[in-house]
Amino acid sequence: MAKPGCTVRVKKLRWHTKLGKITVVGPQYRHKTNRVRPFVLSAKVSPRGCSRPLQRAITDFAADTPFAQVQLKLREHYGFEIGESRIQRVTQRVTLGHAQAIFEAGRASVDFPVAPGQHKQIVAQIDGGMVPIMEPDAEQKDKRKGKKLSWREAKISLAHAKGSRTPVYGGGIEGGVEEAGRQLFACAVRADFGSDSRVHAVGDGAPWIVGRIEDLFGEQGRY
């Protein structure tokens, strides 16, 4: 900002929230091709974007209804509407972002911890369920035609340390029982499972879950 030739102008910043559209007037500093908007950086908002609470509400609504009906739900619950294309972009960005984070977290191999953990008691859970998978026909120009629907089992893992506010999630549709157990163990380690921690696992009684808890945690685990 102190460089010679730096100019400053006032610009309006607008973004959507659960309280409606918010407009803030703030400075924009420009030096040659570089532009800096201090409020955008400090508030972590994007022009014409949506706040994180609004993104969560949109994603929750879109999980149950088509994008066009999400507009009606927003008007019913919050008193305003936003465009259908924006609803689609927000939903795809949020869901794909979470999927990518789960995928990256589950890729790294995790060793059994040798240091004491921050939490002594950890609750772990794992379960499976069938999810529909749509595969488009590569030979069709119109991707809406020739689609094939198949079902695959998704295994979801969770670990929650006593005293922690946020559980740790993992999951996927690739691999079998071994991969599902590895993901559960990775969740426990991310929840600060240590050499002196105890894991209490819960589930629906499936034999493969019981076996994986014994193999993964040994004497430090109980189902």
Question: Residue 23 has what pLDDT?
Answer: 93
Instruction: Specify the pTM.
Output: 0.55
CA distances from 9 to 4, 30, 46, 47 (A): 15, 8, 18, 16
How many separate helices (H) and strands (E) can be counted in the chain? 6, 8
Residue in the block written with tokens 């890729």: 107
CA distances from 212 to 127, 164, 185, 216 (A): 12, 24, 10, 6
Tokens of 61: 């609504």
From first to last of its 223 residues, the chain has per-residue pLDDT tens of 556 677 888 889 899 999 989 999 988 888 888 888 888 888 888 888 899 899 999 999 998 888 889 999 999 999 988 888 899 999 988 888 877 776 776 565 678 888 888 888 999 998 888 888 888 888 888 877 888 888 988 888 999 998 888 899 888 887 788 888 888 998 999 899 999 999 999 988 888 888 888 888 989 999 9
| Residue 99 to residue 107: CA distance in whole angstroms | 12
Contact 82, 74 (CB under 8 A): yes
Question: Residue 102 has what pLDDT?
Answer: 67
CA distances from 25 to 1, 18, 49, 85, 159 (A): 18, 20, 16, 26, 44
pLDDT in tens, 39-87: 888 888 888 889 989 999 999 999 888 888 999 999 999 998 888 889 9
Question: Residue 124 has what pLDDT?
Answer: 93
Domains of the chain by start residue, with CATH: 7-95 (no CATH), 121-137+149-222 (3.30.420.10)
Contact 131, 154 (CB under 8 A): yes
Question: Residue 135 has what pLDDT?
Answer: 86
Question: Residue 78 has what pLDDT?
Answer: 92
H/E element holding 122? strand 121-135
Question: Residue 1 has what pLDDT?
Answer: 53
Q: Which residues contact 166 (CB under 8 A, 6 or more apart)?
A: none
